[in-house]
Amino acid sequence: MNPFFFGSSAQPLYGVHHPHKAQQMRQESVLLCPPFGQEYMRSHRAYRQLAMLLAMQGYSVMRFDYRGTGDSSGEIENATVEGWLEDIDVAVEELKETACVDKVNVVGLRLGALLAAAASTGKSQIHKLVLWDPVISGTRYDEELQKAMQMEGASVCNRVDENETLHFNGFPLVKKLRQELGTLDLLDLNPKADKVFNVISQENDSSRILKNAWNRKTNYTYELAPAPGDWNYVDEFGGILLPQPVIQAIVNWMVK
């Protein structure tokens, strides 16, 4: 596991590279696009384990943080959807160079899945795309956070302030970024990836809508891998989620 900074010197991004652990390296690599906010915190161990399991299968794997998040440069108040999509493009190219391969597979969790799908419609050349418990649209994501915020109860950490910045568990989404995310909808996107795997830990209205809309795509595979999947819930111990059935489903699909 090798942590490093990459991208421009003005806005360096933080990444962690997991070199392949198998005797023979595969001629394709895997980029993991993280979710946002509290979901980022809760998924850290799951993403780390997924990276390690894929490395054991011969993949070169990279985790990274978008600008304004995690250990990357910038402030979240200045983040934009365009900037985050550029970060995915930069990470794809960095992984190609680091792993010395031409094919990059991308796994996106929750908001990371929506962003990865959007990136795959642009200049990022993605071989296989995994949508793990994807946020179906930025609008629905905003509604989810507000619903979770209401369940947690109003506080300094859970509120929409006078500038329309949504604060949830200490992570702010400013008005402009909320509006930009609202323009993204998986039902309007047509990822250019060769293969798309939609893996769900718990079925809901959003997952069924996406499944019904994309089932006719020849490159689309859907799988329900029952596991804990409430990424927004926070207990007093700061518990993480480690949904083994989903992690194993992704590894199994990737190595087919």
d(CA 37, CA 139): 16
Question: Is 119 a member of any domain?
Answer: yes
Please tell me the predicted confidence (pLDDT) of residue 104: 97
Provide the token pair at 231: 């990424």
Domain coverage including residue 247: 2-137+185-254
**Per-block average pLDDT, block size 10, for the chain (256 residues)?**
95 97 92 95 94 97 98 96 97 96 97 97 90 97 90 79 92 96 96 96 95 94 92 62 94 96
- Taking each continuous run of H as one helix and of E as one strand, the counts in the chain are 7, 11
pLDDT reported for residue 131: 98
Report the number of distinct structural domains present in the chain.
1
Per the domain annotation, does 235 fall within a domain? yes
Query: Does residue 157 lie in a domain region?
Result: no
Q: What is the pLDDT of residue 241?
A: 84
Asked whether residue 57 is domain-assigned, the answer is yes
User: Domain of 109: which CATH number?
Assistant: 3.40.50.1820
**71 domain-assigned:** yes
Decide if 114 is inside a domain.
Answer: yes
Q: How confident is the model at residue 153, as a pLDDT?
A: 74
- Tell me, yes or no, whether 173 lies in a domain: no
In a domain, 172, yes or no: no
**What pLDDT, on a 0 to 100 scale, did the predictor assign at position 254?**
97
SS3 172: strand
**For the whole model, what pTM was predicted?**
0.95
What pLDDT shows up at residue 71?
Answer: 97
